[in-house]
Structure formats: structure tokens, C-alpha cells
Amino acid sequence: MRSFTTVASLLFALALGACSGIETRPTDTAEFVAGNFTYFKWRSEPLANPGGSSDPMYLMDPIIRRQVNANLSAKGYVLNPEKAQFSVDYLQAIALREGVSSQDASGGIDPIPSARPNRQINQAMVDNANALSGVQTTNNIAIQLNDVETQEEVWRVIITKIVENVNERDPDRMENSIGRAIQQGLSTLPDAS
């Protein structure tokens, strides 16, 4: 019974992770591991916001930097610009992408009425099909690690998250959302040696 509970808990955690709306596309870590890196720095300076703008770009920059620093530190990497062996940089962009078709989202709901024997279609399936289809706004962050000596990229991850509320300006919610995305994105990066 105990092993069943453990397996059920693990499957539940995996299911929650799969439904997070966060996709990551990391590159292979072999080149990064070969560099035997420990110390890092930021390649660019933080964005200046002298006007106090609430534009998401200005809100996200310190959050992304703070979260990347925390995740790299947790893996044993040290932020030290004087001793830096690799540099960190990021690109952030809002994009649009086509959602899944209504048939894929609902397991076969067709926009054209037809007869389907032994097929019960309920309103929840229709609502899910409508919610998952159409154009979706995504927030994309690419984190790039470069060898300081050669200025060549040694590792990269692209993180994509579906944005539920494009007009969201709550820094606490952004911190939580970006934090989860960056943690998932950097999860394949090995610990410092």
C-alpha cells in the first residue's frame, strides 16, 4: 500500500508539471560541462527605468536576473564578475501562436454537426475545445550562457509560457510565474563541479 501511495504522489506531481503551461527547449549540456565552469557574470547591465514605467519589460528584467542568480547559486555557481568563466544573457519576447485545433482539444468535437454513434458530447468538452483553440499569447525567454574567453555560446534554453492575462502588472504574480519557468528551464543544467 505504501508503494502505491508513493507512485500515486509521483504521478500526481508529474501531471501537475505537465499542466503548467511552461515549455522548455534546452540545448545539450556537453559543451557546458566540458568547460568546467564555476563563476559567472551578466553579459549586459540591468535595464534602467528612470521614468518608473510599469511596462512588463521593466518589471521582468530584475525578476529574471534575480531568479537566474538564485537558480544558478542553488546549483553551486558563483556570481563573480572578476573571476567569471561564463556570462549569462537573456532575450525576452511576447509572441503569438496558433492553439490546438478544436478536434484535438476535445477528443473529436467537430465544428460541423454530424452524427456520431456511441459518442456523448458534453458541454465541458465543448468549453475545453473553445478555450484551447485559437491564437494564444506566449511569453518567451531565451537564457544563453557564453564562454567568457571565446565569447561562444555553450548552452541555451528557450522557455515558453502561455500568458493567461496579457495586461497583468502584478509583480508578485510575475515573480512566481517567472520563477517557476526559470527553475524548469535551468533544471537540465548540471550542478557546478
Mean pLDDT, consecutive 10-residue stretches, the chain (193 aa), reads 46 43 92 95 93 84 95 97 96 70 46 55 64 68 95 94 72 88 95 88
Nearest to 161 by CA among 142, 183, 139, 184: 139
* d(C-alpha 171, C-alpha 54), whole Å: 10
* d(C-alpha 104, C-alpha 58), whole Å: 37
Q: What are phi and psi of 93, to 5 degrees?
A: -150, 145
Give residue 9's pLDDT.
44
Give residue 93's pLDDT.
83
Give residue 53's pLDDT.
86
Specify the residue for cell string 468538452. 125
Is residue 97 within 8 A of residue 138, CB to CB? The reply is: yes
Cα–Cα distance list, 119 to 115, 122, 125, 132 (Å): 9, 10, 12, 21
CATH number for 21-98+139-193 (one of 3.40.605.10, 3.30.160.670, 1.10.3720.10, 3.40.190.10): it is 3.30.160.670
State the span(s) of the chain assigned CATH 3.30.160.670.
21-98+139-193
Give residue 40's pLDDT.
97
Whole-structure pTM value: 0.71
Kindly report the number of other CB atoms within 10 A of residue 186's CB atom.
22
Neighbouring-strand partners of residue 97: 136
Give residue 139's pLDDT.
82
Q: What are phi and psi of 86, to 5 degrees?
A: -140, 155
